[in-house]
Structure 1
Amino acid sequence: MNEIKSVSDYVDYLDTMKETYPMQRYVVPATFFRGQSNKEWKLSPRLYREKLFGQEGTMIKEIVHTNPKEFDMGRFDVLAKLQHFGFPTRLLDVSSNPLVALYFACSDKNEMVNDGAVYIFPNLPASWSDDPLVDLVMDFIFEHTSNSLWLEEFLRVTKSKYSNVTTRLMPDTIESLLWDLNIPAFAVVPKKNNSRLISQEGAFFLFGMQTVSKKSSDNPGTYGREYYSFGPIEMEDHKKLWHVSEKVIIPAKYKKKILKQLDLMGINEQRLFPDIEHQLKYILEKYKNEKNA
């Protein structure tokens, strides 16, 4: 596994990758990058890590109903905003800028003694946030507060709702619906409607789920209906998300050096987090470091 000791090492590695995968940034498919400060961490969204999958729909519904003006927007935008505020969602932050991912692989002060990692996903097919496939997952999240789902009814509503969709093949059988819901994760390019997304050149991986069980109802009112239960997907290997993805390691002893190099290039907390709290924090840290130099 490749180790990165400097920004120049990283750029050289990306140049080598481009010979195999001519990477694109500003079109779809696109290349995405994910930096994590601990190489042992799995690629998993916070909702799944904190085992809150079963409460997802209920939590979001309560938030939207108690803060209607704050969340008067499209459903994917609601998820993106919750992610922005640090609330557990099934989104995982990625960037189209490789230097931004390198920064996040090095910047967590609680993980400075651990090796970091950058995941590279070259030419990954991506959806816009208003794509019908994205909307299908939003239907599951926002319309169903139970993990036990009568898929026949879900499919009927889906076929009616998306009957005029011509941009992609929408599910028309239980099997094809399950296929879409069970996609491990896919990239979504959001509306750039906040300064942090713009600064970080951000996008998201929207995680799917796995079918846990299928059970026929024996209740008198729903007798014979088949209900499917779902659970969070387990992402043990980054190649399960994208088969040509790569992982590079950032040894702990080089993190501070790389952060200094990135700072000279304008990739720092002040640039990536334009809110006043992070601006003040960056300036304070800068003067502390100068004093201790």
Structure 2
Amino acid sequence: MDIESVSDFVKIALSWRNEGKSPTSFRGQKYSGWSMLPKLFRPDVRLYEHENYTVRDIVSIHPEEFSKDQTMFDRLVRMQHFDLPTRLLDVTINPLIALWFATEDFKKDRRLQDGLVYAYFVPESRKRYYDSDRVSCMSNLANLKIKDKSEVFEIISRDIGKDAFNKNKSVDQLLYHIKMEKSHFRDIINPYDLVHPIYVKPKMSNKRIIAQSGAFFLYGANGFKGTKPEEWIKREYVIIQAKHKKKIRKELESLGVHASSLFPEIDKTANFLIQKYQNDSAVTE
């Protein structure tokens, strides 16, 4: 279906069902050609091998910004907020917010590109809260050197069993970082808890997450297969053609979905107001 308006999109969004259930969350991308991966795992970003240094450097340079964060997941959320590529993928529980992101202009080869909105259906086995042990295990992979990360996933691929996996030195490094935030954590990691993405409900701890009704997919590794069909994260999607983006954005603005409402920081509000009144032909001196 050609989505020409917000009402067209709402009809589609209301029709999305999987086994009688509505979507768990949504994601809007201004370019339909992007893969469904966090920035950290995208080949053009080239930061995965230096992940442990980037997460330390940003905390080292701006310690006050991270002083209230209790876990590595908390820090990753804040880093995502400041546009540092992480192993998190932003999603929202509000389909209109996803539509707003999908209608942002994007040019490639001098041509405006289509956007896309995903709807995700997440089984209960792949849902977690911010304080989950599995979230701690996956988040703290960010603290490992590339040598240790590579060794962890190489061992998992050999399927040597939980006991043998947990005797490895690189896994012990991961346990060290987990225990820094959870001293009670037992010295046993389920290796398959590290590889498949999970849906995480975060703390509503900053204005942007609240404004965007935000949540996240947390990734351990890219490319692992083998989950059971009942644990698959299924999805639907709709393409938003470039020629309709401007009109849809205008309709969303009239419904209160715009840059100022989604990015409550004062600089974002200022930019929104400048563009609004510069482009409003009804404004007169």
Query: Please, what TM-score do these two structures have when normalized by structure 1?
Result: 0.75
Deviates more, 1:271-280 or 1:68-77: 68-77
Deviates more, 1:66-75 or 1:35-44: 66-75
- Does residue 202 (structure 1) correspond to residue 214 (structure 2)? The answer is yes
- State the 1:181 CA deviation: 1.6
> Aligned partners of 1:182 and 1:122: how far apart in 2?
19
Query: Residues 54 and 19 from structure 1, CA distance in 2 versus in 1: closer, same or farther, beyond 3 angstroms?
Result: closer
Paired residues of 2:18 and 2:121 also in contact (CA < 8 A): no
Give the structure 1 partner of residue 52 of structure 2.
Answer: 57
- Moved beyond 6 Å, runs of 4+: 162-165
Secondary structure of 1:93's aligned partner: strand
Paired residues of 2:121 and 2:233 also in contact (CA < 8 A): no
Paired residues of 2:122 and 2:233 also in contact (CA < 8 A): no
Give the structure 2 partner of residue 251 of structure 1.
Answer: 241
Secondary structure of 1:89's aligned partner: coil
In structure 1, stretches of 5+ residues that fail to align are 25-30, 210-231
Query: Please, what TM-score do these two structures have when normalized by structure 2?
Result: 0.77
- Does residue 11 (structure 1) correspond to residue 1 (structure 2)? The answer is no
Give the 5 Å matches for 1:134-149.
Answer: 134-142=135-143, 144-148=144-148, 149=151
* Superposition CA RMSD, Å: 3.1
Cα deviation code 1:96-125 (max 9, x no counterpart): 100000000002354782111000003444
- State the 1:243 CA deviation: 4.3
Give the structure 1 partner of residue 270 of structure 2.
Answer: 280
Give the 5 Å matches for 1:61-210.
Answer: 61-72=56-67, 73=69, 74-108=71-105, 110=107, 113-125=112-124, 126-142=127-143, 144-148=144-148, 149=151, 151=165, 152-153=167-168, 158=175, 172=188, 176-177=190-191, 179-183=192-196, 185-209=197-221
Query: Residues 19 and 206 from structure 1, CA distance in 2 versus in 1: closer, same or farther, beyond 3 angstroms?
Result: closer
More strand by share: 1
Secondary structure of 1:64's aligned partner: helix
- State the 1:88 CA deviation: 1.2
Number of positions where the alignment pairs a residue of Structure 1 with one of Structure 2: 251
Query: Residues 21 and 102 from structure 1, CA distance in 2 versus in 1: closer, same or farther, beyond 3 angstroms?
Result: farther
Deviates more, 1:146-155 or 1:13-22: 146-155
Paired residues of 1:32 and 1:124 also in contact (CA < 8 A): no
Query: Residues 242 and 283 from structure 1, CA distance in 2 versus in 1: closer, same or farther, beyond 3 angstroms?
Result: farther
Query: Residues 115 and 109 from structure 1, CA distance in 2 versus in 1: closer, same or farther, beyond 3 angstroms?
Result: closer
